[in-house]
Amino acid sequence: MAAKYFGTDGIRGRVGVAPITPDFVMRLGYAAGKVLAKARDGVARPTVLIGKDTRISGYMLEAALEAGFAAAGVDVMLAGPVPTPAVAYLTRALRLSAGVVISASHNPFHDNGIKFFSASGNKLPDAVEADIEAALEQPMDCVPSEKLGKARRLDDAQGRYIEFCKSTFPNALDLYGMTIVVDCAHGAAYNIAPHVFHELGAEVITIGNKPNGLNINEACGATAPQALSDSVRANRADLGIALDGDADRLLMVDASGRIYNGDELLYLMVKDRLATGPVDGAVGTLMTNMALQVAFKKMGVPFERAKVGDRYVLEVLQEKGWLLGGEGSGHLLCLDKHTTGDGIVSALQVLSALKRSGQSLAQMTADIKLFPQSLVNVKIPAGYDWKSNAALQAEKLAVEESLGDRGRVLLRPSGTEPLIRVMVEAEDADLARSMAQRIADKVL
């Protein structure tokens, strides 16, 4: 199995992106269990919730984690297939010691990963991560038999989470009269998301809801929204909702089949909040379209950019004390509704905005037009110090001065390949392409 560790809220420094084997996962569970048990200091036995998506490897990794925790004297509750944000919510609601998700999110079935949540439903504190990393270096042992951890299944995990999602939608509103297509990406929300929207009154048509362990994210969901677009048009539906494999991403489709990405949905949510009161600020990433930055400035809403990744958006939101943020990929955060990105909850915020305004997606986003983006990938030799390339930096500065408030430039290295990514945004597509190539020509 070509399983990998992708958890951006997990054991970053020690593990990074590394092969996952049952042995490693069992040791990870044991190390985490020992750290959690030490933190409780004998006051109470720690209990950890384990959730997973629909990948075939989840069965094996779930058993390995359970064994590791049990060996460390930690009890386990098994939630089965549930979205990543469901584990964050249930961990907090049930007052558990931690939550663990087995999922590689939007990646194909042959990958997998592990993500940890703290008792508060947030990422683990850095100090706890460091302790788990250190514990991984120690040999695995086992507590005495009378202190072994126990496991039980949380039979109502899905129902509890469905009710939580519905609670984030205004009591005075409903979805009666709406036909919504929901694409579950054959993932963790396949038996949850349709119920949420149906119980709020919508007629729901579900696609991507037949997981077989191998088809998660395959030509469906938020990473391949054309299937949703086609289904919305074919069924003459009002809207479409696309989630990814662990249901923390959201893209939406209107009745015409037009796809709305995370940047546009973030803009819509900020606009909706402004209609009822002030918005302290919003957070995007280095890749957030410049049109949002321009629009938020006109609206008087402060805007900050974080590094790419929802964990970094969350960090800036918490630092600023703001509530709304997200990425173009569809990770959206509403911190007055949930502690983490949640595709279903985000969809409900968009739907409530549409209901309150009486407008469509197209109407609510008519006053923002995303800037065309041009991306050029340039291969570089291993170890190449592109930041010290004076000609490159001079060209970047010249392009930025030329664009002014009409565009921007972003240079960043690939995290997995020997590439420099040159991205230019501009009001005109041809201008973006020409400027991106100008800079790319100076990389080497």
pLDDT in tens, 217-274: 999 999 999 999 999 999 999 999 999 999 999 999 999 999 999 999 999 999 999 9
Give the C-alpha separation, 34 to 46, whole Å: 10
| pLDDT of 6 higher than 60 | no
Q: Which residues contact 19 (CB under 8 A, 6 or more apart)?
A: 2, 3, 4
Give the C-alpha separation, 387 to 217, whole Å: 37
Distance set, CA 228 to CA 169, 175, 184, 216, 384 (Å): 23, 19, 10, 15, 42
Give the C-alpha separation, 422 to 437, whole Å: 8
Mean per-residue pLDDT over the chain, rounded: 92
Say how many CA atoms lie within 13 Å of 390 toward its Cβ.
0
Give the C-alpha separation, 378 to 67, whole Å: 46
Burial of 300 per CB tally in 10 Å (0-12, 13-18, 19+)? exposed
Q: Write down the pLDDT at residue 309.
A: 86
Are 102 and 121 in contact by the 8 Å Cβ rule? The answer is no
Kindly indicate the confidence band of residue 21, based on its pLDDT and cuts at 50, 70 and 90.
confident
Q: Write down the pLDDT at residue 382.
A: 84
Q: Write down the pLDDT at residue 157.
A: 98
Kindly indicate the confidence band of residue 14, based on its pLDDT and cuts at 50, 70 and 90.
very low
Q: Which amino acid is at 187?
A: G
Q: Write down the pLDDT at residue 126.
A: 82
Point out the residues that are catalytic: 105
Average pLDDT of 123-137? 88
Q: Write down the pLDDT at residue 65.
A: 96
Burial of 41 per CB tally in 10 Å (0-12, 13-18, 19+)? exposed
Which of 82, 306, 309 shows the shortest CA–CA distance to 196?
82
Q: Write down the pLDDT at residue 89.
A: 98
Q: Write down the pLDDT at residue 383.
A: 85
pLDDT in tens, 33-87: 999 988 876 667 899 999 999 999 999 999 999 999 999 999 999 999 999 999 9
pLDDT in tens, 354-380: 999 999 999 999 999 999 999 999 999
| pLDDT of 12 higher than 90 | no
Average pLDDT of 275-286? 95
Percentage of the chain with pLDDT > 90? 84
Are 50 and 75 in contact by the 8 Å Cβ rule? The answer is no
pLDDT in tens, 118-128: 999 998 888 88
Q: Write down the pLDDT at residue 416.
A: 67
Q: Write down the pLDDT at residue 406.
A: 87
Q: What is the 3-state secondary structure (H, E, C) of the chain?
A: CCCECCCCCCCHHHHCCCECCHHHHHHHHHHHHHHHHHHHCCCCCCEEEEEECCCCHHHHHHHHHHHHHHHCCCEEEEEEECCHHHHHHHHHHCCCCEEEEECCCCCCCCCCCEEEEECCCCCCCHHHHHHHHHHHCCCCCCCCHHHCCCEEECCCHHHHHHHHHHHCCCCCCCCCCCEEEEECCCCCCCCCHHHHHHHCCCEEEEECCCCCCCCCCCCCHHHCCHHHHHHHHHHCCCEEEEECCCCCEEEEEECCCCEECHHHHHHHHHHHHHCCCCCCCEEEECCCCHHHHHHHHHHCCCEEEECCCHHHHHHHHHHHCCCEEECCCCEEEECCCCCCCCHHHHHHHHHHHHHHHCCCHHHHCCCCCCCCEEEEEEECCCCCCHHHCHHHHHHHHHHHHHHHHHEEEEEEECCCCCEEEEEEEECCHHHHHHHHHHHHCCCC
Q: Write down the pLDDT at residue 431.
A: 94
pLDDT in tens, 184-219: 999 999 999 999 999 999 999 999 999 999 999 999
Say how many CA atoms lie within 13 Å of 422 toward its Cβ.
26
Q: Write down the pLDDT at residue 67.
A: 98
pLDDT in tens, 92-120: 999 999 999 999 999 999 888 899 999 99
Structure tokens at 348: 């409900």
| pLDDT of 297 higher than 90 | yes
Q: Write down the pLDDT at residue 9.
A: 40
16: left (phi over 0), alpha (psi -120 to 50) or beta: left
Structure tokens at 321: 């004390």
Q: Write down the pLDDT at residue 356.
A: 96
Are 54 and 81 in contact by the 8 Å Cβ rule? The answer is yes
Percentage of the chain with pLDDT > 70? 95
Q: Which amino acid is at 430?
A: D
pLDDT in tens, 141-157: 999 999 999 999 999 99
Q: Write down the pLDDT at residue 11.
A: 40
